Amino acid sequence: MKEIKTHVKPSLPFKSSMKKDYKILVPDMLPIHFSILTEVMASYGYDIELLKNVGPSVQEEGLKYVHNDTCYPALCTIGQMIDALNSGKYDLDHTAVMITQTGGGCRASNYIHLLRKAMRKAGYPNVPVISLNISGLEKGSSFKLTLPMLIKMLCALCYGDLITLLRNQTEPYEVEKGASQTVVERWTKNIAEQLKKGKGWTTKAFDKNMRGIAADFAAIERNIVPKVKVGVVGEIYVKYSALANNGLEEFLRSQDCEVNVPGVMSFICFKIDNRIEDIKLYGGNPIKDKVCKLLLKLVTNIETVMQNVLSEYKQYEKPATYAELKEMVKGVIGYGAKMGEGWLLTAEMVELIKTGYGNIVCAQPFGCLPNHIVGKGMIRKLRTLYPKANIVPIDYDPGATRVNQENRIKLMLAVAAERIGEGSHAHQPEETESVRTPETV
């Protein structure tokens, strides 16, 4: 039988001339961070809209065009974009979609190809697809990151980290309900407007804003009472996205917990440092090594501003620096374990345990091999090092029910609440002798 060949028009590339009249749709992952980040891009003439559409139709569209065995974050983000295009809200002749990529040996590096294939199958071959990355994954796109734009974007993410951290440590104890959210909204809007006007990113302005944010949160009256403190780690999209993790943070707050979700700046340092580590372990281009080291210094300098500001407020738990995180897992897991969130995921769990957040939800896409190794696979080791660590791995995928996920988390919270009731200091890490001479995994 003769094979019938059909020609499918390839996805349209995004050209510089499109910037002035195209709306770019972006899946939301970090609401505070991304709402600030979009204004940085707006200052360069890009019209960005964060997608807020949720519900069964998003996953249904994802399952329709992405194989069920493919990474769950790909299914969610692609499903959200196609669902948005199906809504009829957008002029399809002047709409593009954007997805971020980190590169490396992870299925996330293939999202852009999965998205383009899905867009063609869904009947949107003329909607340009943009990859936002610093790994050189896209050679033909006219969407380019300049150094000033990159610095502003990094500042935006650091602003988001600080606002999120202070909100999470203030809101559970606030005397006047809603006071923390008021500060969040005021500063998010303030910073976004500054960055849209090209302000708020110089050393002086950045430091001033960070100090203003911290001062406003510190001024909120708090009533410190014992609460279960819960840390959240995992694959970056499932860790942060309410769409992917079924509103995990909101659920934990509804259970009267204080939530700690490590910030995104350490992840950025980790991704840059991986390139340096590769060259150290396997050899490589010395120019690339030098550029990556300069970029890592830039990111850590921005991170240092937040560290210095938080040092002045002892009532808040200051996050570890990237260098401190890296030191925490020395001898516990090798730095060559870098796929997905790599050794950083394990380091975040160690930090959470050491700083009083020993009740940990490890959120992972089902079947995500890198995260199952450095997340679920390291739980036994961490329980050996810290016997009172209370860690529960939760898998997220289209077939997992929210009720089952929340019931598993409730069992973890019940153990934590029982320890508080017994007056246990279970939140404090209890190191065994093996901590000083741990086996390398």
pLDDT tens by residue, 230-248: 999 999 999 999 999 999 9
> Which position has the higher pLDDT, 133 or 410?
410
Tokens (6 digits) for 187: 């500063």
> What per-residue confidence (pLDDT) applies to 63?
93
Counting Cβ atoms within 10 Å, is residue 58 exposed (0-12), middle (13-18) or buried (19+)? buried
CA distances from 118 to 80, 100, 421 (A): 12, 16, 52
Strand partners for 395? 364
Q: Is the pLDDT of residue 435 over 60?
A: no
Q: Are the C-beta atoms of residues 60 and 73 closer than 8 Å to each other?
A: no
CA–chain centroid gap for 371, Å, is 14
Strand partners for 51? 27
Counting Cβ atoms within 10 Å, is residue 389 exposed (0-12), middle (13-18) or buried (19+)? buried
Tens of pLDDT along 9-49? Answer: 456 778 878 888 999 999 999 999 999 999 999 999 999 99
Q: Ramachandran region of residue 258, left (φ > 0), alpha (ψ -120 to 50) or beta?
A: beta
Rounded to whole angstroms, the Cα distance separating 187 from 200 reads: 12
Strand 228-234 to 47-51 pairing: unpaired
> Which position has the higher pLDDT, 49 or 137?
49
- State mean pLDDT over 305-333: 96
Rounded to whole angstroms, the Cα distance separating 422 from 408 reads: 22
Q: Are the C-beta atoms of residues 69 and 397 closer than 8 Å to each other?
A: no
> Which position has the higher pLDDT, 421 or 397?
397
Q: What angle do CA 35, 45, 138 make, to 5 degrees?
A: 85
DSSP state for residue 378 in the 8-state scheme = G
- Other CB atoms within a 10 A radius of the CB of residue 3 amount to 4
Q: What does 126-158 look like in DSSP terms, one character per residue? A: TS-EEEE-SS---SS-S----HHHHHHHHHHHH
> What per-residue confidence (pLDDT) applies to 139?
55
Q: Which long-range contacts (CB under 8 A, 24 or more apart) does 281-285 make?
A: 281/336
Domain span(s) for CATH 3.40.50 in the chain:
228-263+319-435
Rounded to whole angstroms, the Cα distance separating 309 from 307 reads: 6
Q: What angle do CA 358, 271, 70 make, to 5 degrees?
A: 80
Rounded to whole angstroms, the Cα distance separating 1 from 12 reads: 33
- State mean pLDDT over 74-89: 95
Residue listed under structure tokens 């300098």:
301
Q: Domain 228-263+319-435 belongs to what topology? A: Rossmann fold (3.40.50)
Tens of pLDDT along 175-220? Answer: 999 999 999 999 999 999 999 999 999 999 999 999 999 999 999 9
Strand 95-100 to 47-51 pairing: unpaired
Rounded to whole angstroms, the Cα distance separating 137 from 107 reads: 13
Full strand arrangement of the beta sheet holding 95-100: 47-51, 23-27, 95-100, 129-132
- Other CB atoms within a 10 A radius of the CB of residue 138 amount to 17
DSSP state for residue 9 in the 8-state scheme = P
How much is the pTM? 0.89
- State mean pLDDT over 387-400: 93
> Which position has the higher pLDDT, 110 or 32?
32
Q: How does the average pLDDT of the chain come out, rounded?
A: 88
DSSP state for residue 439 in the 8-state scheme = P
Rounded to whole angstroms, the Cα distance separating 305 from 318 reads: 12
Q: Is the pLDDT of residue 426 over 50?
A: no
Tokens (6 digits) for 90: 């957008």
Nearest CA-CA partner of 247 in 55, 69, 57: 55
**φ, ψ (nearest 5 deg) of residue 253:** -65, -35
Tens of pLDDT along 249-284? Answer: 999 999 999 999 999 999 999 999 999 988 988 888
Rounded to whole angstroms, the Cα distance separating 376 from 389 reads: 13
